[in-house]
Amino acid sequence: MPTITPEPGPPSDPELHRDRGMAESFGTDAERYDRARPGYPDAVIERIAAACPGPEILDVGCGTGIAARRFQAAGRTVLGVEPDARMAEVARRLGTAVEVATIEDWDPAGRTFDGVVSGQAWHWVDPVAGAAKAARVLRPGGVLAAFWNAPRPPDEIVDALAEAVRRVVPDIPVDVTAMKRPIEETYPALIGKVADGVRAAGAFGGLDEWRHEWTRPYTRDEWLDQLPTAGVFTRLAPDRLAEVAELTGRAIDRLGGGFTMAYSTLVVMASRVEGGAERG
């Protein structure tokens, strides 16, 4: 499902999971989504995989399988759950088994897992119902891990994108300049909502929040290729999207045709307690 790259700001709306139109808009161009979205650092995948007591992982909101393929490469067996059939089709073609459903409505049919993971997608999940479902399908000691790539573009890129949004789509209720602020200021609402849902499930212990810093270089074309995959732009008319891309592209040109993106991958993890009784 969605990423925050190049989302104008963090997904902090506490009711965002109710916006199914946006949540299921990313399959509009699933091939581009898979091609353009950033992956995840080896260190993040390895740490989550190592925490799981066994190899079987459920990937919630797996999208086109970007994270799932990383866990598979690390020797894990992955089943994806994805509400958008278009995204699921790409994931299957690229080697990930997927069942089409939201996690809240998905029927595990008695199956259990060693890990429940969710890359760039848990903000589309009801935090309480999602954690309760994870608790039901996790074996004792199994791990729930939700994670996001939080970007910090150069200020010139943020300013250009903000100006483009103001000029072309002033009705979009997002604060693009939030990407200039420290992670500690912009993501507490998201992380806190996830943590509260985990606590409410009544079946987890060892709640842990951590992050991994990394960078990735982008050319002008690579960055603009991502633009239509951001949640606020997936349903934008092509002519308006082209104008946003043109205005943003000029800023990249002024930086020499490319730039280095700083990322923080934010992770919330918890372990299924032996004998814990989930609620909900």
Does pTM top 0.95 for this prediction?
A: no
Domains detected in the chain: 16-153+180-217+262-272 (3.40.50.150)
Q: What Rg value do the Cα atoms of the chain yield, rounded? A: 18
Q: In which residue ranges of the chain is pLDDT below 50?
A: 1-14, 18, 20, 280
Backbone angles phi, psi at 75, to 5 degrees: 90, 10
Query: What CA–CA distance (Å, rounded) separates 275 from 205?
Result: 12
Confidence at residue 21, expressed as pLDDT on a 0 to 100 scale:
53
9 Cβ partners below 8 Å, 6+ apart?
A: 174, 175, 176, 177, 178, 179, 186
Are 197 and 235 in contact by the 8 Å Cβ rule? The answer is: no
- Looking up tokens 């039901």 gives 136
What are the φ/ψ torsions at residue 133 (nearest 5 degrees)? Answer: -65, -40
- Give the span between the Cα atoms of 223 and 226, in whole angstroms: 5
For residue 280, the model assigns a pLDDT of: 46
Residues 170-226 have pLDDT tens digits of 877 778 888 888 888 888 888 999 999 999 999 999 999 999 999 999 999 999 999
CA of 217: how far to CAs of 3, 22, 214, 220, 251, in Å? Answer: 17, 28, 11, 10, 15
Residue 5 has a pLDDT of 38
